Amino acid sequence: MTNDERRGTVRPLLKTSSGPSLLPELRQVIPDRKVEAARVVKRLAAIVEDHRQAALLLTIRLEASDIAIVLSALRDHAQGGDGIPVPGARDEIHAYCLNRLFDELVEEPSNILFATKTGPDTMRYDAMNARFWMECLDLMEATYCPRPPAHGDGG
């Protein structure tokens, strides 16, 4: 299935004719959000590193600024946007690398499950919700895409 076909079939399920989903987002109980977010970021970082290595074979070097662009597209997607094609590509091969990274990372919230005890012998498994996903993306960006210090010394 191509990206255009996927966008045409997946995103409309999450949108109404007036915009993003109006369904309330359930508050996801995560006992230690910092520990869980660190675990998710470690997983995302491994995916990014795999893509960095693969991109080198195509003579493309994925820099921190490229990762920040992909993370921004992931945030856009989590808020109901398309997210793809990822903006900011330098050329066709660079665009391919950015979009492939996006494609793999965008699946992660549904691959990471949280267990909630619903009874003495039963558990419910829920995929990561958008709020926690956004927190993980913020942590990922703060950790792997440091911004240069501001030059506000006035002199």
pLDDT along the chain (155 residues), means of 10: 47 42 55 89 97 96 96 95 92 97 95 84 88 94 82 56
Query: Does residue 103 lie within any of the structural domains?
Result: yes
Domain span at residue 104?
32-144
Q: How many residues does the chain have?
A: 155
Longest dimension (CA), the chain: 66
Q: Is residue 42 part of a domain?
A: yes
pLDDT confidence of residue 21: 45
Asked if residue 24 belongs to a domain, the reply is: no
Number of domains making up the chain: 1
Cβ(109)–Cβ(90) below 8 Å: no
User: Residue 8's pLDDT is what?
Assistant: 45
- Token reading at 74: 């992931």
Whether residue 123 is contained in a domain is answered as: yes
Report if residue 14 sits inside a domain: no
Task: Give phi and psi for 56, each to the nearest 5.
Answer: -60, -35
pTM: 0.75
Task: With respect to residue 94, please indicate whether it lies within any of the assigned structural domains.
Answer: yes
Judge contact between 47 and 111, C-beta under 8 A: no
Please tell me the predicted confidence (pLDDT) of residue 75.
Answer: 95
Query: What pLDDT does 149 receive?
Result: 67
> How many contiguous H segments (helices) and E segments (strands) does the chain have?
6, 4
**Domain for residue 95, yes or no?**
yes
In a domain, 125, yes or no: yes
